[in-house]
Structure 1
Amino acid sequence: MTPSTAYSRDLGDELRGLRETCTGLSGNKLAVKLGWDPSKISTIEHGKARASEVDLIQFLSMCGKDIDFLNDFKRRYERAFDEYFVQVSGNLRTVTMAESTAITITSYSPQSIPGLVQIPEYADGLYRMTGVVTEERIPTLVQFRTDRQAILRRHDRPTCLFFIHEHALQLQVGSSEIMEDQYARLLFDTHTIRIVPANAPIAATGCVLWEYEKARPIVFSETNLAKVFVQDPGAIARTRLLFDRLDQIALSAEQSRGKLAEYVSRPREGHDDSGPHLA
């Protein structure tokens, strides 16, 4: 069986939503109507198996969808099981599902504070600095970023480790008060922050490694133009080597708290204000 991917699980969940809203049928009852084994509905809706074109036609027709909808879904579904998958930056659903179902999240942010631990004011200022989205979209994107952080408050929250390069701390986003609040957020949250010292080399691009209980790990990287999801075993191995190296050169968790405490108390003037990539 082809291993599932972040996108196959996303599109499978979309099919599940269509079944529930358009037919009102359970998976078992729809399987009876289609003449399928009930397990087939489950594996397709969980993104564990690739549906054939005939399967998609039968499923979506039962949901009352027309040929235009079918062609659009089929076009998206063609790449669902690729080990390397690229999405436009405005697509928010796949990253949300992949992130929220992970049991372990390890990230490296060389240029800005990671999105999962940004305060809203910092996120707002970062979008305005980069200038890559229109002003009217900023409140929606900031709210989305804030809503994603709910996974850190769950009783079954993932184990998180954030490697943050000190250059990201030195970049002033917004006012001094915003930066102080952002440092305090990093200092007092319960997940693990490891600061990479300012004199350490900067890896060109930040990345996140999501790990799951019953699915293959995913490496995620984002630029202003695209989101990239990777499940290639070689890429996963190289990412683990990066995190092994960061573990060697980063300050310990206790040392990192000390460094953050220094930033909370120092004046926030005269720092670089060049625009970073979103992370």
Structure 2
Amino acid sequence: MTVITSTAHSRELGDELRRLRETCTDLGGRAMAIRLGWDPSKMSTIEHGKARASEVDLVQFLTACGKDADYLEMFRRRYEKAFDEYVIQMHDDLRTLVFAESTAKTLTNYTSNGLAGLIQTPEYADALYRLGGFVAEERIPDLVRFRGERQAILRRHNGPKCLFYVHELALRLQIGDASIMADQYARLLFDAHLIRVVPAHIVIPSSGCVLWEYEKAYPVAFGETDLAKLFVQDPGAIARTRLLFNHLDQVALDAGQSRSKLAEYVGQPRGDLDVSGPYLA
């Protein structure tokens, strides 16, 4: 076992090991450690993603949970990159994303050519997926439902403190029909306390990103394309992400001005259709 800095991916996989222990055995963490001949502190650090388990550790743990050789190999492949500062995942793999955002203390998001998934209405999300043309029709309802379920963190009493920077040009993109846009504008106005609007004339040379910060772990920067998700914990990249959000804080409208700007759009959906840009989380 090697103790190193945890990452969003290592904490997600550590949590998965904990859930496997709880669902596949009748053992608590201490009892499992005793069965494996480990110190209880080793069990805790591995299940919290704070230490890299050796391949032998993983085999011992997963075998005790009743997993076969195929499962062992699958988990080993997922685990081998868990502590890297840059982790790339397939776009359909959403487990690390959900764990990272739901366990964060603060979540800061900037979107340039769209609205963050956490502040989209179901109808807007559905229309957005259909406009892309690369998501199978039968998968769209599940993707929309999942996006809605993620939004529960905005209503949790102990959820992350969220701030969304939204470029005004994104507000002018018509996604779906006028009714969908009217409902989306109303939703944004309802969530105006979470939103800072970047005026249309301001140029921000960034496609958008998310910064998650934690009480007892290093920050994680997140970005995505239509093809892959990227989780970054490199200190230099985190510093650059902070510079972006510091700049946005300076150029964006303040809270009251942002609410007023959003109110201008309520009941006035735009007719121009322009769906260029990324499908952001």
Identity, % of aligned positions: 65
Q: Comparing 192-201 with 96-105, which one deviates more in the overlay?
A: 192-201
With over 3 angstroms needed to count, the CA separation of the structure-2 counterparts of 1:275 and 1:132, relative to structure 1, is: farther
State the partner residue of 1:114. Answer: 116
Distance in 1 of aligned mates of 2:123 and 2:222: 25
1:33 pairs with one of 32, 35, 38: 35
State the partner residue of 1:261. Answer: 263
Distance in 1 of aligned mates of 2:76 and 2:114: 37
Query: Structure 1 runs of 4+ off > 6 angstroms?
Result: none
Contact kept, 8 Å, 2:175 with 2:273, in 1: the verdict is no
The CA deviation at 1:275 is 3.5
Distance in 2 of aligned mates of 1:229 and 1:267: 35
Alignment TM-score, normalising by the size of structure 2: 0.96
State the partner residue of 1:73. Answer: 75
Contact kept, 8 Å, 2:192 with 2:259, in 1: the verdict is no
2:25 pairs with one of 13, 23, 26: 23
Structure 1 position 216 matched with structure 2 position 218? yes
Match runs of 1:265-276 below 5 Å:
265-269=267-271, 271-276=272-277
2:253 pairs with one of 251, 254, 275: 251
One-letter amino acid of the counterpart of residue 107, structure 2: I
Structure 1 position 63 matched with structure 2 position 65? yes
2:49 pairs with one of 34, 47, 51: 47
Counterpart secondary structure, 1:265: coil
State the partner residue of 2:185. Answer: 183
Contact kept, 8 Å, 2:174 with 2:274, in 1: the verdict is yes
Distance in 1 of aligned mates of 2:103 and 2:53: 22
Deviations 1:165-200 (A, max 9, x none): 111101100111111111111112264211111111
Deviations 1:103-133 (A, max 9, x none): 1011100011111110000000110111221
The CA deviation at 1:217 is 0.4
Distance in 2 of aligned mates of 1:153 and 1:39: 34
Counterpart secondary structure, 2:197: strand
Q: Comparing 75-84 with 181-190, which one deviates more in the overlay?
A: 181-190
One-letter amino acid of the counterpart of residue 273, structure 1: D
Contact kept, 8 Å, 1:211 with 1:217, in 2: the verdict is yes
One-letter amino acid of the counterpart of residue 90, structure 1: D
Counterpart secondary structure, 1:44: helix
RMSD: 1.2
Q: Comparing 211-220 with 60-69, which one deviates more in the overlay?
A: 60-69
State the partner residue of 2:130. Answer: 128
The CA deviation at 1:267 is 4.7
2:139 pairs with one of 137, 140, 147: 137
Deviations 1:133-181 (A, max 9, x none): 1010000000000000001111112111110011110110011111111
Alignment TM-score, normalising by the size of structure 1: 0.97
The CA deviation at 1:227 is 0.5
Distance in 2 of aligned mates of 1:267 and 1:193: 19
Structure 1: 5+ residue stretches without partners: none
Distance in 1 of aligned mates of 2:258 and 2:266: 12
Distance in 1 of aligned mates of 2:139 and 2:99: 21
One-letter amino acid of the counterpart of residue 274, structure 1: V
Counterpart secondary structure, 2:166: strand
One-letter amino acid of the counterpart of residue 211, structure 2: L
The CA deviation at 1:238 is 0.2
Contact kept, 8 Å, 2:192 with 2:262, in 1: the verdict is no
State the partner residue of 2:157. Answer: 155
One-letter amino acid of the counterpart of residue 65, structure 1: K
Number of equivalences: 278
Contact kept, 8 Å, 1:130 with 1:275, in 2: the verdict is no
One-letter amino acid of the counterpart of residue 236, structure 1: I
Structure 2: 5+ residue stretches without partners: none
